[in-house]
Amino acid sequence: MKVVRYPEKSEYASLLARPVMDSSTLESAVQTVLSEVKRRGDAALFEYTSRFDGVQLNKLEVSEEEKQVAANQVSPALKEAMQLAAANIRRFHQAQVQPVEIIETMPGIQCWRKSVGIEKVGLYIPGGTAPLFSTILMLGIPASIAGCKEIVLCSPPDKTGKLHPAIIYAASLVGVTRIFKVGGAQAIAAMAYGTETMPQVFKIFGPGNQYVTCAKQLVQRDGLAIDMPAGPSEVAVFADATANPAYVAADLLSQAEHGADSQVLLVTTDENLPEKVSEALKKQLEQLSRAQLAEKALQNSSAIVVSTKEEALEILNLYAAEHLILASDQAKEIADKVVNAGSVFLGHLTPESVGDYASGTNHTLPTNGYAKAYSGVSVDSFVRKITFQELSPGGLKAIGPAVVEMASAEGLDAHAKAVTIRMQNHV
């Protein structure tokens, strides 16, 4: 990691810049895939799966028999761990459901808001270097709580034409209704536009590589909703003199191992900490199976030494990290001043890993600075909020003259007439 000591405020923006990729060539390639799937349906999916995943499939959808086989292949220990995580995630997200509350804004005027589940949603789960079955729990559980009627899951098959058993088991555990062995931009296209086999959905969720991310952004231009803008995964750690360098190093590596394009940031008020963390990083890297990926991510990352925690917070709020760890004895006090972050982890005993898997909070979070304006996935992500209102004769009499006055001032006579015609008959 590059170490920067006591930077000037004018340097903050350049220090915190994320890597920028030229997307023009990428967009062209992805748009071709989207157009082909839209035009040719399943035939294009079979062709792209053969070309990109190296396997010739006979069918796209996972059968009931495959689900049963997969359930038997998942170890009892992993099943138990997934069930524990699912219970915590369900408990946390269930509490987000609010009862309908009728508000009387004036005597005789009642207004309320009702949450209605999005009828059809699509979940994208990467395969690649790691089968992210944990993301199925994070997306499928709030979708189920929200009351989504159809929950479609897409994930790329391996070279034998199968999905990882844990992916299939997790999907069954959380109520996914249909599972497809389709990955990449072609999976996003299939869910966005529908094919002979794949149902069209109304909103797409889930992480993915640059092709998947680009595909989600392009189908959004066609009017399909997506969860949020996304980029490579990231973590920022604030650490003071009370921090344990080995813990900090482990937290940085747990994010860096996601991929070479991941980014980690350490901000500290202890000028000796970067060297201690660097030594711990070297030792821990030797024990990682994904060490090469983590090393590349660390090359794009920085440790910044500042004089005060106020400066640290200014930098961290400007960075707006997907994950923010506060490695300090004063974590709760510091947390009160955090305004931009996806998810925050307080103290020395709260690694990001618990939020990624099992504490209950959602790990699908805004990256690339979008935490300044976006929230992580929740039950709200899977619902539409519909407002209702009802007037009694007394309510119409009370509010009618004000509506007529305002509509007339805007020159919208029909709006005014819709009120006066009722007042003539009922008031």
Q: Which one of the listed residues 234, 323, 352, 363 is annotated catalytic?
A: 323
Asked if residue 295 belongs to a known ligand binding site, the reply is no
- Calculate the alpha carbon distances from 422 to 47, 389, 400, 409, 417 in Å: 61, 16, 9, 20, 8
What's residue 131's pLDDT? Answer: 84
What's residue 224's pLDDT? Answer: 96
pLDDT band at 262 (very low <50, low <70, confident <90, very high): confident
Determine the Cα–Cα distance for residues 171 and 188; give it in Å rounded to an integer.
Answer: 18
Q: Which one of the listed residues 322, 333, 352, 390 is annotated catalytic?
A: 322
Q: How many helices (H) and strands (E) does the chain have?
A: 17, 14
419: left (phi over 0), alpha (psi -120 to 50) or beta: alpha
Beta-sheet strand order (sheet of 383-391) = 103-106, 109-117, 383-391
Determine the Cα–Cα distance for residues 305 and 80; give it in Å rounded to an integer.
Answer: 42
Q: What is the pLDDT of residues 166-183, one digit of tens each?
A: 999 999 999 999 999 999
Asked if residue 233 belongs to a known ligand binding site, the reply is yes
What's residue 427's pLDDT? Answer: 74
What's residue 128's pLDDT? Answer: 67
DSSP for 75-96, written as a single string: -HHHHHHHHHHHHHHHHHHHTT
Q: What is the pLDDT of residues 51-101, one digit of tens each?
A: 999 999 999 999 999 999 999 999 999 999 999 999 999 999 999 999 999
Domains of the chain and CATH, by start: 2-18+232-360 (3.40.50.1980), 24-101+117-226 (3.40.50.1980), 392-426 (no CATH)
Residue 228 has pLDDT above 70, yes or no: yes
Residue 45 has pLDDT above 90, yes or no: yes
What's residue 297's pLDDT? Answer: 85
Are 152 and 97 in contact, with CB atoms under 8 Å apart?
no
pLDDT band at 129 (very low <50, low <70, confident <90, very high): low
Asked if residue 356 belongs to a known ligand binding site, the reply is yes
Task: Work out the percent of the chain whose per-residue pLDDT is above 90.
Answer: 90
* Farthest CA pair distance, the chain: 83
In single-letter form, the type of residue at position 368 comes to N
Determine the Cα–Cα distance for residues 265 and 175; give it in Å rounded to an integer.
Answer: 37
Determine the Cα–Cα distance for residues 182 and 156; give it in Å rounded to an integer.
Answer: 5
Residues linked to residue 117 through DSSP beta bridges, in sequence order: 383
Is 196 assigned a catalytic role? no
Q: What is the pLDDT of residues 290-317, one digit of tens each?
A: 999 899 889 888 999 999 999 999 999 9
What's residue 418's pLDDT? Answer: 98
Beta-sheet strand order (sheet of 225-226) = 178-180, 150-154, 120-124, 203-205, 225-226
Is 66 assigned a catalytic role? no
Tokens of 349: 């005993």
Asked if residue 255 belongs to a known ligand binding site, the reply is yes
Q: What is the pLDDT of residues 187-200, one digit of tens each?
A: 999 999 999 999 99
DSSP for 318-350, written as a single string: HHT-SEEEEESTTHHHHHTT--S-SEEEESTT-
Residue 19 has pLDDT above 90, yes or no: no
Asked if residue 323 belongs to a known ligand binding site, the reply is yes
Asked if residue 124 belongs to a known ligand binding site, the reply is yes
pLDDT band at 261 (very low <50, low <70, confident <90, very high): confident
Are 265 and 233 in contact, with CB atoms under 8 Å apart?
no
pLDDT band at 354 (very low <50, low <70, confident <90, very high): very high
